[in-house]
């Protein structure tokens, strides 16, 4: 996030959203705010409304009109397929009569229209079509009203703010926008601040934050405020319990959600008689939504169908469902879509239905990814160590269901990881990560203990998942990530897993000097098992190798073979490499430095390390390094000299 903000865009605060850019003479009229689910788009809109109404910000606007695309869908469903802007405003703001509204609309430059949640709108905003309106009293389809406001054919000079998830913006022409902003979420210092405030006790908040920071997957999620809230909610009961009474802290996303549910069940145990029955109904509604891509439920279609109308007012459900009301409609959404997916998975454990294996196979073969997170939760629940906390309240989950899901998962993970589809293998690693079950993971990987994710695209989160799976396995003979571009963040996430491998291929991975401090930590980790590291064809440069040498000199380092073929090296790094060769801790027996530009100076510096009694090197590769004929002769003489002293060293020039 920090790199993106520094390289691609200007970091601004919400208060600056409508201000003219210092490098532009044009006013900022059309603004698009992008952000993933739960990142805070609607919260930002509410804050804008609150600050404007309170008179603390945005006072250039005489009126601010907020419309939610979700509510515009309801209007489209009614008997009025067309509507004028004036009618739409009066419908939402009934105190504005015709005379007063005309006066308001007469000064469009003082008006702000906010349209929240474009991703929830059933119509596509098409700016290429010719059908636009210019009169606020003209009746047109609602999506034409929106495109006309954005195109400034309607109320020219007004300000329009649209919020949306990124995937929807890919399909529309946002070149019309004067400002496109992305909400990045919490930066690291903000995550710590949030934890301290959430826990009241700053010391406990710091402990919780430090725990999250060590758990790469949970920490990666915490940039999103809604996930940060949920993780803190789940961790609160653990960290607020006296240390002697604390159990194992949650490690996976599944365990976080189980503890979150446990907290709700515990807080409302006396209030609701049959909690399990309600959860089953809620879970079935959740799954219906996942299956049909619905996450907004109304009283008629969703709530009544699944028999939840009698408990809607209960605080018990308010911990899971958010009620959103307007003058005309009441809708319910899960606080997060991921929470909806979790509840969907829980329903199959609470009340099994049909052939579980057949259903899982059907989900797995689904061409889109709608069941992916549900499947991960199904896997996680089958091996969940903290599930007993919920079972104490709801009763035992159905044993046969757990067994059947485990058997299907064992078969599926084994077949996929030993097959040739790397994308599928990565997907299965997401499932395995949720289990944290060493026996299952080792069985799935196979006796040869090798994994190949070369020539792929991996995100930092994918790398964290791989590291978690490998760490849980305990050891891996070989990991091949060749020709898979890896950022410094990716390498940092991989560190715990890389140190559990014997041999790692990182050839042509676009590694730079910024990756080397993490690699240095890998080879110097106390329990590092790494003996062979292939870093050929990466632009690591001298500064990167110098950082790597710090780890190579560590007493913990077990590296025996290091390949740095074609890494943009010069003689500047050779002093550090020489100090490694002469270090009493070094175990290097093979070093490849071919296709660099070490020159005679580099060769002479390396020779000093080779002469050391501590040097254990047996093979050195120095081809294509700009070394002169005379210096090559010196290296051959050194080789003979060492051979006479009983050292077997082969120098290839």
Find, among 336, 458, 354, the residue nearest to 398 by Cα.
Answer: 354
97-101, 287-291, 378-382, 433-437: least confident range: 97-101
Tokens 């000299």, residue?
641
Sheet holding 590-592, edge to edge: 450-452, 476-480, 501-505, 532-534, 561-563, 590-592, 619-621, 650-652
Write out pLDDT tens, residues 24-74.
677 889 999 999 888 999 999 999 999 999 999 999 999 999 999 988 887
Half-sphere exposure of 468 (CA within 13 A, CB side): 25
What DSSP character marks residue 15? G
Report residue 335 as tokens: 């606080």
One DSSP character per residue, 291-330 reads HTT---EEIIIIITTTT-GGGTT-HHHHTTEEEEE-SS-E
Half-sphere exposure of 550 (CA within 13 A, CB side): 13
Tell me the sheet residues that pair with 532: 503, 561
**CA–CA separation, 535 and 592 (whole Å):** 10
**CA–CA separation, 322 and 343 (whole Å):** 14
Higher pLDDT, 524 or 297: 524
One DSSP character per residue, 617-637 reads --EEE--SS---HHHHHHHHH
- In whole angstroms, how far apart are CA 281 and each of 276, 284, 396, 460? 9, 5, 18, 37
Dihedral over alpha carbons 341, 344, 346, 351 (to 10 degrees): -170
Q: What is the pLDDT of residue 305?
A: 82
**CA 444, 455, 219: angle at the middle one, nearest 5?**
65
Is the confidence at residue 396, as pLDDT, over 80?
no
Is the confidence at residue 433, as pLDDT, over 80?
yes
414-423, 431-440, 477-486: least confident range: 414-423
Write out pLDDT tens, residues 63-74.
999 999 988 887
Average pLDDT over all residues of the chain: 88
The pTM score is 0.84
Average pLDDT over residues 238-260: 86
Write out pLDDT tens, residues 575-616.
999 999 999 999 999 999 999 999 999 999 999 999 999 999
**CA–CA separation, 299 and 316 (whole Å):** 18
Q: What is the pLDDT of residue 287?
A: 92
Is the confidence at residue 1, as pLDDT, over 70?
no
**CA–CA separation, 443 and 199 (whole Å):** 41
Is the confidence at residue 19, as pLDDT, over 90?
no
Residue 629 falls in which region: left (phi positive, over 0), alpha (psi -120 to 50) or beta: alpha
């Amino acid at each position: 996030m920090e790199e993106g903000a520094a390289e691609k865009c200007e970091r601004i605060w919400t208060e600056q959203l409508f201000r003219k850019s210092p490098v532009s003479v044009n006013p900022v009229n059309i603004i698009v705010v992008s952000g993933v689910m739960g990142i805070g788009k609607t919260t930002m809109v509410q804050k804008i409304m609150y600050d404007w109404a309170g008179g603390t910000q945005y006072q250039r606007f005489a009126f601010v009109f907020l419309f939610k695309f979700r509510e515009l869908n309801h209007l489209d469903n009614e008997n009025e397929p067309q509507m004028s802007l004036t009618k739409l405003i009066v419908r939402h703001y009934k105190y504005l009569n015709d005379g007063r509204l005309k006066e308001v609309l007469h000064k469009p430059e003082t008006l702000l229209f906010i349209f929240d949640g474009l991703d929830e709108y059933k119509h596509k905003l098409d700016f290429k079509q010719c059908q636009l309106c210019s009169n606020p009293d003209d009746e047109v389809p609602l999506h034409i009203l929106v495109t006309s406001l954005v195109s400034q054919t309607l109320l020219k000079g007004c300000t329009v703010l649209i919020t949306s998830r990124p995937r929807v913006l890919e399909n529309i022409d946002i070149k019309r926008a004067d400002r496109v902003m992305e909400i990045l979420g919490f930066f690291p210092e903000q995550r710590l601040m949030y934890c301290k405030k959430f826990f009241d006790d700053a010391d406990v908040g710091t402990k919780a934050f430090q725990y999250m920071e060590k758990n790469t997957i949970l920490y990666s999620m915490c940039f999103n405020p809604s996930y940060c809230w949920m993780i803190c909610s789940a961790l609160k009961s653990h960290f607020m319990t006296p240390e002697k009474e604390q159990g194992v802290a949650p490690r996976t996303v599944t365990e976080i959600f189980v503890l979150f549910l446990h907290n709700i069940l515990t807080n409302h145990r006396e209030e609701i008689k049959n909690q399990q029955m309600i959860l089953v109904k809620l879970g079935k509604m959740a799954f219906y939504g996942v299956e049909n891509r619905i996450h907004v439920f109304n009283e008629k279609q969703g709530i009544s169908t699944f028999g939840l109308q009698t408990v809607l007012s209960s605080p018990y459900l308010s911990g899971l469902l958010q009620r959103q009301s307007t003058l005309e409609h009441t809708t319910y959404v899960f606080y997060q879509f991921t929470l909806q997916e979790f509840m969907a998975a829980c329903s199959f454990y609470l009340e099994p239905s049909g052939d579980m294996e057949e259903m899982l196979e059907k989900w797995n073969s689904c061409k889109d990814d709608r069941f992916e997170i549900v499947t991960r939760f199904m896997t996680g629940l089958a091996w969940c160590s903290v599930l007993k906390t919920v079972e104490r309240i709801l009763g035992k989950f159905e044993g046969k269901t757990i067994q059947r899901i485990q058997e299907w998962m064992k078969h599926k993970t084994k077949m996929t990881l030993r097959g040739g589809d790397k994308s599928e293998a990565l997907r299965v690693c997401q499932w395995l990560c949720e289990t944290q079950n060493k026996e299952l993971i080792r069985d799935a990987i196979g006796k040869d203990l090798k994994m190949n994710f070369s020539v792929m695209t991996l995100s930092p989160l994918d790398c964290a998942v791989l590291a978690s799976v490998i760490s849980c396995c305990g050891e891996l003979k070989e990991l091949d990530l060749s020709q898979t571009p890896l950022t410094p963040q990716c390498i940092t996430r991989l560190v715990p897993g890389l140190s559990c491998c014997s041999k790692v291929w990182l050839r042509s991975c676009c590694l730079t000097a910024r990756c080397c401090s993490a690699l240095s930590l890998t080879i110097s980790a106390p329990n590092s098992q790494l003996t062979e590291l292939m870093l050929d064809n990466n632009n690591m440069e001298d500064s990167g190798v110098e950082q790597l040498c710090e780890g190579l000199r560590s007493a913990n380092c077990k590296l025996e073979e290091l390949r740095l073929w074609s890494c943009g090296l010069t003689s500047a790094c050779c002093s550090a490499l020489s100090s490694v060769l002469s270090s009493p801790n070094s175990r290097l027996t093979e070093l490849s430095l071919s296709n660099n530009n070490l020159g005679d100076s580099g060769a002479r510096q390396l020779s000093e390390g080779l002469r050391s009694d501590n040097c254990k090197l047996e093979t050195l590769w120095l081809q294509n390094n700009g070394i002169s004929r005379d210096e090559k002769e010196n290296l051959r003489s050194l080789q003979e000299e060492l051979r006479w002293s009983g050292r077997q060293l082969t120098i290839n020039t």
